[in-house]
Amino acid sequence: MLGKAIGIFDSGVGGLTVFKEVADLLPRENLIYLGDTARVPYGSKSVKTVQRYALEAAEFLVDRGVKLLVVACNTASAVALEQLRERFQLPVIGVIEPGARRACASRNRRIGVIGTEGTINSGRYPQAISALVPDARIFSIACPLFVPLAEEGWAEHEIARLTALEYLQPLLKAQIDTLVLGCTHYPLLHNTLRGIFGADVLLVDSAEETAKTVQQLFCRQGLENPDSGGRREFYVTDVPTRFERVGQAFLGAELGRVVQVEIG
């Protein structure tokens, strides 16, 4: 068991983009990752179901003595974050608020948001952005096929480009200057999206922004533990074979040992 680690959970492998960014910014901190792979995806589940899953995942990590929780899932961040903050006496950071803050850099106040059906239907990104920039025009689109494309390693394939063009025509017509990647899988499509929108559109990586928020919180609250050793542990709720294979591409490195557990 890791003492006073950062706990990060997601419905599956996508949250490893958040894990990677946190590890890069806080390399000496111990990190525990839980992928709820037996119940993936969260994006098409009901609000009550996602809330229950998120609570069970968080309890698993809290039981292991984490000092901070990162909800590395846009859907769970959209519908369960406040419940988790009420339930646990430790900092809980989601991925929506950091992404929304970065989107405020928009010059023409025309902001696109893409994500899973659950994230888009929740309306949480428009709410968070509008609270900071009341005059923003926000255009939201669900792009469910981006997740399997990323997991199949086809994020830069011609199929991904054609799929993105089909989904994103309304955003091109809206002349957005900022696009929020509202799913932790979507950073893998960065190059494909950049090719479609060009260099002038700001692509907001919620994983990167979340890691920055974690680092800032550590500095403010004195949570750093430079002597903790920088150890990593990975847990999944189903057979780890696919997680290990796909996760290597998301993390950009070998995961090492992945342990299957039961939660709930």
Q: Is 77 annotated as a binding residue?
A: no
Bridge partner residues of 111 (DSSP): 138, 178
Q: How far, in Å, CA of 249 to CA of 170, rounded? A: 30
Q: How far, in Å, CA of 102 to CA of 104, rounded? A: 5
Residues 6 or more apart whose CB falls under 8 angstroms from that of 132 comprise 100, 101, 104
Q: Is 42 annotated as a binding residue?
A: yes
Bridge partner residues of 114 (DSSP): 141, 181
Q: Is 186 annotated as a binding residue?
A: no
Residues 6 or more apart whose CB falls under 8 angstroms from that of 138 comprise 111, 112, 113, 125, 126, 129, 130
Catalytic status, residue 73? yes
**185 neighbors 150 (Cβ within 8 angstroms):** yes
Q: Is 10 annotated as a binding residue?
A: yes
List of E strands, the chain: 6-10, 31-35, 68-71, 92-93, 110-115, 137-142, 178-182, 202-205, 232-236, 258-260
Given the residues 73, 104, 143, 219, the one annotated as active site? 73
Residue 194 CB: number of other CB atoms within 10 A?
Answer: 13
Residues 6 or more apart whose CB falls under 8 angstroms from that of 57 comprise 9, 34, 36, 76, 263
Q: How many CA atoms lie within 13 A of 237 on its CB side?
A: 20
Q: Is 119 annotated as a binding residue?
A: no
Both structure tokens of 231: 């150890």
Given the residues 104, 143, 183, 219, the one annotated as active site? 183
Binding-site residue set for substrate: 10-11, 42-43, 74-75, 184-185
Tell me which residues are annotated as active site. Answer: 73, 183
Bind-site residues: 10-11, 42-43, 74-75, 184-185
